[in-house]
Amino acid sequence: MAIVISPGRTETAAPVRRPQTRFVREARRNARAHGFLLGSVLCFALFTWYPMIREIIESFQRLHLGVTGFAGLRNYRQITADPFFWQAWRNTFQFTGLALLFGFALPFVVAVVINEFRHAQAYLRVLVYLPVMLPPVAGILLFRNYFMDPTNAGLLNQLLHAVHLPTSQWWGAAPSAMPSLVIISTWTNMGSAVLIYLAALQGIPGELYEAAEIDGAGLLKRVWHVTIPQTRTILSLLLMLQIVATMQMFTESFVTTGGGPESSTVTIVYLAYNYAFQFSNFNTAEALGVIMFIVLGIFSVLYVWIERHGNEA
């Protein structure tokens, strides 16, 4: 296009720049941030999403004479026909229920007690977190051999004997094996939850506690009317994480009891391990993993739905 200025003289018009759309502007502004996030997304895709998709696909396959073929629901029918499948679910739910009584409530109580101390809080935090810093297997073996030895050499049995109470076989007997694993798991893992609760407690405004004290509220009433409502979000989040983690319990059973005695500590993950590495039936083990994934997925969706409707109410 040309614009005539005067006879014999022309001047070229500058090109008209089109306005950028909002999407383009936002994309250019966040290009660097997206570049940093790309590495994390690729790691998740390679080490989390891809194995999950492969597990789902291979749960419908079968390896026979070195040839992999489509098996349909054969692996799922085989695993549900196994009587250990239903026993493993009962053991898993038993461990999860007991862990909620001890592993979820006890760290909160410990955090509330530590928060009441005016001095030595740093020392108590280190003391509580110390078992978490140990390797999981080392921590479990330490507690099993020195605290829960079925003989009178164990510290807990010595304490029971000192107060004239009957000693226990702990993990050596079927009735007490699962509660013993719950105690071991609580001791080795509660340090992280205690620190999270302490951080939430120290974020509560002191004016609320002062107002409660002026009204004559004691420690228990302050906890019930101030502490718990102010930490409800953290409590809900850790409750969900606690359930998901305890339903995947494996290390405690594998190291301490080996699934016994009388298969009383065989969990779903432990059963999947047996199928994969003892029976060399990886496809059935993957089918069991898919069932566990579906159960935990349904629970997570229901939990989020209940929490959302509870907050709206």
* pLDDT value at residue 1: 47
Indicate if the pLDDT at residue 166 is higher than 70. Answer: yes
Identify the residue with better confidence: 18 or 60: 60
**45 Cα distance to chain centroid:** 20
CA dihedral 209, 128, 144, 90 (to 10 degrees): 40
Indicate if the pLDDT at residue 313 is higher than 60. Answer: no
Look up tokens 């302490």; give the residue: 198
DSSP 93-131: HHHHHHHIIIIIHHHHHHHHHHHH-SS-HHHHHHHHHHH
Q: How confident is the model at residue 259 (pLDDT cuts 50, 70, 90)?
A: confident
Domain chopping of the chain, boundaries: 84-312
Domain 84-312 is of which CATH architecture?
Answer: Orthogonal Bundle (1.10)
Indicate if the pLDDT at residue 191 is higher than 50. Answer: yes
- What per-residue string of b and e applies to 71-80 under the rule 16 or more CB within 10 Å gives b? beeebbebbe
Indicate if the pLDDT at residue 2 is higher than 50. Answer: no
The Cα 196–Cα 199 span in angstroms is 5
- pLDDT tens digits for range 299-308: 888 888 887 7
For residues 59 and 76, the answer to whether their CB atoms sit within 8 Å is yes
* pLDDT value at residue 15: 53
What average pLDDT is seen over the chain? Answer: 84
Identify the residue with better confidence: 28 or 57: 57
Q: Mean of the pLDDT values across residues 133-154?
A: 85
Identify the residue with better confidence: 224 or 20: 224
* pLDDT value at residue 291: 93
- pLDDT tens digits for range 66-124: 677 888 899 999 999 988 999 999 999 999 999 888 888 899 989 988 888 878 888 88
For residues 172 and 261, the answer to whether their CB atoms sit within 8 Å is yes
For residues 91 and 265, the answer to whether their CB atoms sit within 8 Å is yes
The rounded percent of the chain whose pLDDT value lies above 90 is: 21
* pLDDT value at residue 19: 55
Q: Mean of the pLDDT values across residues 45-52?
A: 89
Write down the pTM of the prediction.
0.82
The Cα 138–Cα 155 span in angstroms is 18
Q: Mean of the pLDDT values across residues 213-220?
A: 81
Identify the residue with better confidence: 88 or 145: 88
Q: Mean of the pLDDT values across residues 191-215?
A: 86
